[in-house]
Amino acid sequence: MTLATVLTFSVVGAIVASRHPRNTIGWLFCTVGLVVGLDTLAWGYAEFWLSGSSGSRGLGETAAWFSSWSWTLVVVVPTTFLLLFPDGRLPTPRWRPVAWCAGLGIIGFVAGYALDASPLGGFPQLVNPYGVDSPVVGVVTVAANSVVGGSMVAAAISVIIRARRAGRVERQQIKWLAYGGAVAVGIIFVSGGISVWSETVSIAAISVALLGLPVFTGIAIVKNRLYDIDLIINRTLVYGSLTTMLVAVYVGGVVVSQYVFRALTGGESQLAIVASTLAIAAVFNPLRRLVQEFVDRRFYRRKYDARKTLEGFSTRLRDETDLDTLDGELVGMIRDTMQPAHVSLWLRPETGMKDEEAQPRWASYSFNRTRRLASTLARVPAYQATQRLDSSRIHRGFIPAG
């Protein structure tokens, strides 16, 4: 896992730093990868020296000393990057005291472990060669722990404040970070149960979950497929809930079926497992549709309503023949789903009409809305249909971004 940690932080940090050189988070991740690599090298040299092989005593003790406290940087430094996420700057200048406290707390935290006069962690046969036997070190360590803990809480609060004030792009970036954190917490929670059967698998799962945080952070910062996060969250909610339900149905079906077989035949039967498997296969698709509809209705209400509006309009489009009525319904559908400031509709007569009848119809509509469609495009396609309606066709209209 050490190699995975070095590669994850180094690669993500290098990508972020190359694309956004002024973003501190990229360089911070590169530093974490460097520290982990040096820690591994120092630990290996200390083990080599302690095994009786040739080597410098001073260098061996220094390597063991460095390896005993360098892990603190890996734990503490990445957690404070929340203050700088996603653009590498503080939310506002008012957060500078928090940043200074975080920096001083990290320095005191590392110094407390580095100057502790007790035997080295991981190498109990060695006493800290650079230890300071003074109560001041203990006081500094306790104070630094408190400051670092408070800084972590403040960093988490800063992300919440950013989310409330963020624009559309920054909000999507925060969603990526929040999703990564939620996945990590969920895997850690599940790993607690896995540890009953295999502690090794549990530790590996936790390590992978934690390494996912820099990956999701890098995706958010470089804005790669940024808007896919909504679909990912949607699918996670749907299939996570569906998996939980199916497992409950399967386990419950096996338990109940075995109880019935024992009552009837006096023994267990494999038919219980077969029956539960068939039940899972039968309810999978209906249950998935129900869960998908519930998630869309509960968490994606605007998209759900827009889809229902489009479905209703498509149904009326097949039956409606009056263009004036259709004009109003089409404009109303666009207004409800896209919330534009203006809509223009062009109806072109079918080829073959007389010149005096073949005049195109143009209608423009304006809406008195304080909330307009947020878009960086100059013009957004409103709707396109090729349905023939009373010798006319509806062609592409455009909504000027007001």
Claim to verify: residue 179 and residue 240 sit in the same structural domain? no
**pLDDT higher than threshold 70 for residue 110:** yes
Q: Is the pLDDT of residue 100 over 60?
A: yes
Q: How far is CA 350 from CA 329, 354, 355, 363, in A?
A: 21, 10, 11, 18
Q: Are residues 189 and 336 in the same domain?
A: no
* Pair (182, 61) in one structural domain: yes
Residue 113 has pLDDT above 80, yes or no: yes
Q: Check residue 396 and give its pLDDT.
A: 36
| Domain contains 148 | yes
User: Could you tell me what percent of the chain has a pLDDT over 90?
Assistant: 2
The pLDDT score that the predictor gives to residue 305 is 65
Q: In whole numbers, what is the pLDDT of the chain averaged over residues?
A: 76
Q: What's the confidence (pLDDT) of residue 14? A: 92
Domain count, the chain: 3
Least confident interval from 175-184, 228-237, 264-273, 389-398 = 389-398
167 & 102 share domain: yes
Its domain, for residue 349, covers 302-400
Residue 231 lies in a domain: no
Q: What is the pTM of this model?
A: 0.65
Judged against a pLDDT cut of 50, whether residue 238 lies above it is answered with: yes
For 45-54, 128-137, 319-328, which range has the lowest pLDDT when averaged over its residues?
319-328
Packing angle, helices 135-165 and 168-194, rounded to 10: 130
Of 224, 249, 269, the residue at which a domain comes to its end is 224
User: Pick the residue with more confidence: 83 or 394?
Assistant: 83
Distance separating alpha carbons of residues 252 and 273, to the nearest angstrom: 11
- Tell me, rounded to whole angstroms, the distance of Cα 226 from its chain centroid: 10
**Shared domain check, 191 and 86:** yes
Residues 250 and 337 in one domain: no
Same-domain pairing of 246 and 197: no
What single-letter amino acid sits at 25? I
* Residues 181 and 254 occupy one common structural domain: no
One domain for residues 27 and 166: yes
**pLDDT greater at residue 219 or residue 307:** 219
* Same-domain pairing of 271 and 355: no
